[in-house]
Structure 1
Amino acid sequence: MNFLFAWRYFKAKKSTNAINVIAWVSIVAIMGITFAFIVVLSVFNGFEGLVKSLYSSFYPDLKVSAASGKTIMLTPEQLQKLSAVKGVNTYSLVAEEKTVLINGDIQVIVTLKGVDTSYESVAGVSQKLIRGNFQTGSTDEPSLVLGNGVENAVGIESDKYLYPLTVYSFKRGMNISLTDPSQSFAAANINTSGTFLIQQDIDNKYAITNIGFMKLMMGLGPDEYSGIEIAMHTGYEAEDVKRGIQQLLGASYKVETKYEQNQSLYSVMNLEKWFIYGVLTLMLIVAAFTMIGSLTMLVLEKQKDIQVLKSMGANNNLIQKIFLTEGLLLAGIGSITGVLLAVVFCWAQVKYKIIAIQGGTFLIDYYPVQLVASDFILVLLTVSLVAFLASWFPSRKAAMQPIELRS
């Protein structure tokens, strides 16, 4: 019954045309805000998914490192038990340290990461090459795969440069000698084989080489490593696999999921999304004032109807429900229309790339969008809540009108 009255009031011609105009203005305002809600959150989801996929190319599902200090000890027996942990697919041993990379007069500080032959099964760096090949060489003849930013910094093209670069690394446990500083460094020549492009923070920081060469530069023992990177089987939860590895290795080892390796990144992205949601909610609240005005004028328009309904036995709750339903009806028309328009727009953006990213410096040339069901639920609940609160005061005013009997 409430809906029937609300629908009749919505369709009925009003004595003052401004009531109709304001009602449609409120519908259009809610439609526009709902459209913006879905589109902006979908674009954010698209960029978030893109960034996560880029970071996933470099960071493994799980990483084991030292709880304190820089290196860990992993015996062949421990590695065998590790590979038997439920959910572990494969692993790669790594050794990394900050080094100085020299090309003539150019000196660049990079994090040099030594990896074994299983690394390509754990991380997707080899799939992100823009030049050359993913060749790390051997202990005696190492090769270097550079991040794009590192390559630019040393001023070469990795697949065309014929001369070796020189790499310097601090010797572990050695103090810098003022009389002969060279005694404190390990130095070697290394050729370049390729360049990867993943994400600026990674590209400007990392270069990848052979683990045997890197252990030699760092002075590590046979069973000593900086860490171990692990790829999981699909269908397993990272926390469950992490728990099994932690129980196996003990408290002196730190096991991190992909989220924990980039906790600050994911926290910032999550905060940004809630900030966007808050801004759009404020815009929705401002738009709801048009609904308050529309319903207030409708209550004044329907005073005689309210009197008649009350004289026929309608109580205050029924009157209030009628006008609450009227407000929710306006919000429902606006929000559903906004959602449909947003879905069509996002589909068109994915298919036809309507809005391009200017400048040509990003990995893609259009704004990515990703529709997520939880966003639709969140937006519709938010619109419903704001519409309910906006409708409450006019509907309450309608319900509290006294019955006036006239002779």
Structure 2
Amino acid sequence: MRFPLFIATRYLVSRKKQNAINIISGISVTGVLVGTFALILVLSIFNGFDQVVRSLFSSFDPELKILPASGKRFEADGATLKMIEKTDGVAVYAKVIEENVLLKYNEKTHPARIKAVDNHYMNVTGLDTMINRMAPEQPKNGQFCIVGQGLSYFLGVNLNFARSIRIFAPNRESSLNVTARNAFRQNYIIPSAIFSIRQEIDEKYVIVPLEFASELFQTGNEISAIELKTHPHTDIDEVKADLQERLGPDFVVKNRYEQHEFFYKVMKSEKWAIFLILSFILVIASFNILGSLTMLIIDKKHDMFILQSMGADNKLIRKIFIAEGFMITFVGAITGLLLGFIIAWLQQTYSLIKISTQGTLIIDAYPVDIQAIDFVWVLVVVALIGFIASYIPVRLLTRRILK
């Protein structure tokens, strides 16, 4: 294979009889370079946004969540809680009640989803890191709530303890004799902080103490879920499988991906859709390689006859021009990969390109995450496209010329 590579290298760097061949070869290299560069950069940005979204979910969603296999709630008996606490890898757990409610503040009303948590909840998630406004003092009786930023905007919530939020919930005891008077239970709670994570969470949730919700919903020992945090460096999937086996078929244990499975699948599909679109652009750019090789074969027709007279067979001559196509492809691909890595690293390290958010997002620059697997996939795709773009013209034209 050394001889075909040697001849192909000479053809690539030497001047041709027709200057147009040099120009088309340069365009071919540039097309592959730009396409490869764009693939690496776009995939790295998608990875960056994926990491941002995962970090936002980790501030509100637990590493593992235990839910009833059927129904909305289950009995949190002592044996079950003790078994969860003794499971290897479990660091802390929190009991949770979730229910839809109606909020009223001043004269404004808005539907919301209440999330009632116990004292361990802040150790399970990172919600405390997402609080952007807090009252100077907390209520002494502990009856306070944390409101999503979107909800606070809709209701016009102030953190001055002058007014409480009025919460309406369906009355479970009035199912047989419903009247306007007894259809809903209600209670008051003081807003003491506002959190901001993502728009769909901020506009939906209000966090309250578990005891407050138990009294409002009349749930007793029933809860909606148990949220868990594992010890550092613990295999979460192993803990999940262990818990599922111990709890049995009456419960479902979900990790963060499974809690938002549809959302993560959409993000992954978008990434690979962009990958396919840019790969198609690379296919179009590879037509330059096809044109360059076609003109080179015609230009080097005399050289092929000389090589034949020296004993070279048709297979060897084809290898020369296929190697030429591969060299055009890989010069562009390696340069594009290197340039894409440098730009992505600079953005990841120094955040050069900013996002104009006016403080509405937690990031102020395009996030980037460089992953080695992306480089492997891009190189495989570029190599495949380069092989096809080189093989077809070489096979067809040499068959006509070398008769």
TM-score relative to the length of structure 2: 0.94
Say whether residues 1:145 and 2:146 are aligned partners: yes
Say whether residues 1:353 and 2:377 are aligned partners: no
CA distance in 2, matches of 1:176, 1:50: 48
Residue aligning to 1:337: 335
CA distance in 2, matches of 1:283, 1:112: 48
Gaps of 5+ in 2: none
Residue aligning to 1:167: 167
Residue aligning to 2:8: 6
Residue aligning to 2:29: 27
Trace 1:21-60 onto structure 2 (pairs within 5 A).
Answer: 21-60=23-62
Residue aligning to 1:267: 265
Residue aligning to 1:376: 375
CA gap of 1:378–1:135, structure 2 versus 1, over 3 A, is farther
RMSD across aligned positions (CA): 2.0
Residue aligning to 1:185: 184
Any conservation in 1 of the 2:345–2:370 contact (CA below 8 Å)?
no
Secondary structure at the aligned position of 2:253 is classed as strand
Residue aligning to 2:200: 201
Any conservation in 1 of the 2:169–2:184 contact (CA below 8 Å)?
yes
CA gap of 1:169–1:141, structure 2 versus 1, over 3 A, is farther
Which AA in structure 2 matches 1:241?
Answer: V
CA distance in 2, matches of 1:247, 1:344: 47
CA gap of 1:384–1:128, structure 2 versus 1, over 3 A, is same
What do residues 174-197 of structure 1 show as CA deviations (whole Å, max 9, x unaligned)? Answer: 33866x323122211100110111
Any conservation in 2 of the 1:320–1:398 contact (CA below 8 Å)?
no
Say whether residues 1:400 and 2:399 are aligned partners: yes
Any conservation in 2 of the 1:135–1:194 contact (CA below 8 Å)?
no
Which AA in structure 2 matches 1:207?
Answer: V
Q: Which moved more, 1:376-385 or 1:394-403?
A: 394-403
Q: Note the C-alpha offset of 1:240.
A: 2.0
Q: Note the C-alpha offset of 1:87.
A: 2.0
Q: Which moved more, 1:15-24 or 1:312-321?
A: 312-321
Q: Percent identity of the aligned residues?
A: 35
CA distance in 1, matches of 2:139, 2:246: 32
CA distance in 1, matches of 2:137, 2:111: 21
Say whether residues 1:98 and 2:100 are aligned partners: yes
Any conservation in 2 of the 1:129–1:196 contact (CA below 8 Å)?
yes
CA distance in 1, matches of 2:72, 2:9: 70
CA distance in 1, matches of 2:168, 2:254: 30
Q: Note the C-alpha offset of 1:237.
A: 3.1
Trace 1:72-111 onto structure 2 (pairs within 5 A).
Answer: 72-111=74-113
Q: Note the C-alpha offset of 1:402.
A: 5.5
What do residues 60-111 of structure 1 show as CA deviations (whole Å, max 9, x unaligned)? Answer: 1111111111101121121111112122121101112111110122111111
Residue aligning to 2:118: 116
CA distance in 1, matches of 2:170, 2:243: 32
Residue aligning to 1:302: 300
Residue aligning to 1:212: 211
CA gap of 1:192–1:398, structure 2 versus 1, over 3 A, is same
CA distance in 2, matches of 1:86, 1:399: 68
Residue aligning to 1:322: 320
Say whether residues 1:156 and 2:157 are aligned partners: yes
The number of equivalent residue pairs is 400
Which AA in structure 2 matches 1:129?
Answer: I
Which AA in structure 1 matches 2:308?
Answer: K
Any conservation in 1 of the 2:60–2:125 contact (CA below 8 Å)?
yes
TM-score relative to the length of structure 1: 0.93
Say whether residues 1:251 and 2:249 are aligned partners: yes
Residue aligning to 1:362: 361
Which AA in structure 1 matches 2:395?
Answer: R
Which AA in structure 2 matches 1:94?
Answer: V
CA distance in 1, matches of 2:173, 2:335: 68
Trace 1:124-143 onto structure 2 (pairs within 5 A).
Answer: 124-132=126-134, 141-143=142-144
CA distance in 1, matches of 2:167, 2:201: 19
